[in-house]
C-alpha cells in the first residue's frame, strides 16, 4: 500500500511515522508513506499556499492551485483508489472504514489547515471526506496520522502476531476483554484464576463473556449490529 499525504506542515507528520509499528511497516516494505509539502507547489516566491476568504471573515483558506498541482503531479505517476480530505464534517472514522481502506493500493490524504481548503478542491478532487470525531483540530495532520495508523496496522504482516488485530476492539463487533500481565498478584489485587489455569477453552469462553459484558456497558447497541 502507498499513502501520499499532502500538507503545509510536513514536520508534524515526522514522528508518528518515524517510530514503532508504523516505522517497521515501512521498513518491511508493507507500506510506503510519502509526505508532500504543499509549499513545494506554491506559485510565488513567498511560497504562499493560503489566502483570505472571499466574503471576509476570520481565518485563511488553503488555495486550490498548489493543491491541484500536487494532486495532478501524484496522479501522473500512478492511479489512486481514493483522494481523501480530512474534515470535521466528513464521515466518521470507525473500524469498518479502516478495514475497507486497508484493502486499497494507493491513497492520497489531504490535510487542511486554518479555515480549511477552497471548496472547489473538495468538489473536484476529493473522493471521500473523513472525520476522526466531532471536534475541531487545528489541522488535518494529526487526523491523517490517526487514520493512517488505524489502516496500516490492519495490513497483513504489519503486526508481528497476525491474529492480534483480529482480537482488537470492534473487529468482531465487540470491545476487547480485560488483559493482565505479571505479577499474578500486586498488593492483594489478583489476576482472575481462569487466566492462570492454562485451560484454553475456558479462557476463550471467559474472554468472550467479558467482551460481551463490556460491550453492553460501554457500547450498548453495538452487539448484533
**Residues found near ligand SAH in the complex (CB under 6 A):** 86-89, 111-113, 115-116, 131-133, 135-137, 139-140, 143
Residue 131 or 215: the one with the smaller Cβ distance to ligand SAH is 131
Cell, residue 23: 516505522
Query: Minimum Å distance from CB 125 to ligand SAH?
Result: 14
* Position with the least CB separation from ligand SAH: 112
CA neighbours closer than 13 Å in the CB half-sphere of residue 194 = 13
Query: Minimum Å distance from CB 150 to ligand SAH?
Result: 13
Residue 18 or 133: the one with the smaller Cβ distance to ligand SAH is 133
Query: Minimum Å distance from CB 145 to ligand SAH?
Result: 11
Residue 86 or 175: the one with the smaller Cβ distance to ligand SAH is 86
Query: CA torsion, points 66, 57, 126, 105, in degrees to nearest 10?
Result: 70
Pairing of strands 128-131, 185-186: unpaired
Residue 16 or 140: the one with the smaller Cβ distance to ligand SAH is 140
User: Burial of 68 by CB count in 10 Å (0-12 exposed, 13-18 middle, 19+ buried)?
Assistant: middle
Residue 112 or 177: the one with the smaller Cβ distance to ligand SAH is 112
Task: Report the helix count and the strand count for the chain, using DSSP H and E.
Answer: 8, 9
Pairing of strands 106-110, 82-92: parallel
The answer to whether 126 touches 91, Cβ cutoff 8 Å, is: no
Residue 36 or 113: the one with the smaller Cβ distance to ligand SAH is 113
Query: Minimum Å distance from CB 130 to ligand SAH?
Result: 7
> Which helix (H) or strand (E) element contains residue 86?
strand 82-92
Query: Residue by residue, what is the 3-state secondary structure of 102-144?
Result: HCCCEEEEECCECCCECHHHHHHCCCEEEECCCCCCCECHHHH
Query: Minimum Å distance from CB 87 to ligand SAH?
Result: 5
Query: Minimum Å distance from CB 149 to ligand SAH?
Result: 14
Residue 53 or 176: the one with the smaller Cβ distance to ligand SAH is 53
Cell, residue 126: 476529493
Query: Minimum Å distance from CB 134 to ligand SAH?
Result: 7
Chain center to CA of 127: 17
Amino acid at each position: 500500500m502507498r499513502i501520499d499525504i499532502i500538507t503545509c506542515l510536513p514536520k508534524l507528520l515526522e514522528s508518528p511515522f518515524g517510530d514503532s509499528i508504523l516505522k517497521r511497516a515501512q521498513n518491511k516494505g508493507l507500506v510506503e508513506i510519502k509526505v508532500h509539502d504543499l509549499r513545494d507547489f506554491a506559485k510565488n516566491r513567498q511560497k504562499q499556499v493560503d489566502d483570505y476568504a472571499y466574503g471576509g471573515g476570520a481565518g485563511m483558506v488553503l488555495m486550490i492551485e498548489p493543491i491541484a498541482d500536487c494532486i495532478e503531479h501524484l496522479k501522473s505517476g500512478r492511479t489512486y483508489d481514493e483522494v481523501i480530505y480530512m474534515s470535521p464534517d466528513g464521515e466518521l472514522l470507525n473500524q469498518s472504514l479502516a478495514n475497507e481502506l486497508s484493502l486499497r493500493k494507493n491513497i492520497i490524504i489531504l490535510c487542511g489547515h486554518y479555515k480549511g481548503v477552497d471548496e472547489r478542491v473538495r468538489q473536484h478532487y476529493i473522493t471521500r471526506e473523513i472525520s476522526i470525531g466531532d471536534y475541531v483540530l487545528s489541522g488535518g495532520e494529526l487526523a491523517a496520522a490517526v487514520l493512517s495508523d488505524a489502516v496500516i496496522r490492519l495490513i497483513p504482516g504489519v503486526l508481528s502476531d497476525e491474529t492480534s488485530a483480529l482480537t482488537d476492539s470492534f473487529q468482531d463487533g465487540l470491545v476487547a476483554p480485560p488483559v493482565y500481565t505479571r505479577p499474578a498478584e500486586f498488593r492483594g489485587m489478583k489476576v482472575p484464576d481462569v487466566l492462570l489455569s492454562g485451560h484454553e477453552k475456558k479462557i476463550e469462553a471467559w474472554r468472550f463473556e467479558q467482551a460481551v459484558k463490556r460491550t453492553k456497558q460501554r457500547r450498548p447497541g453495538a452487539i448484533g449490529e
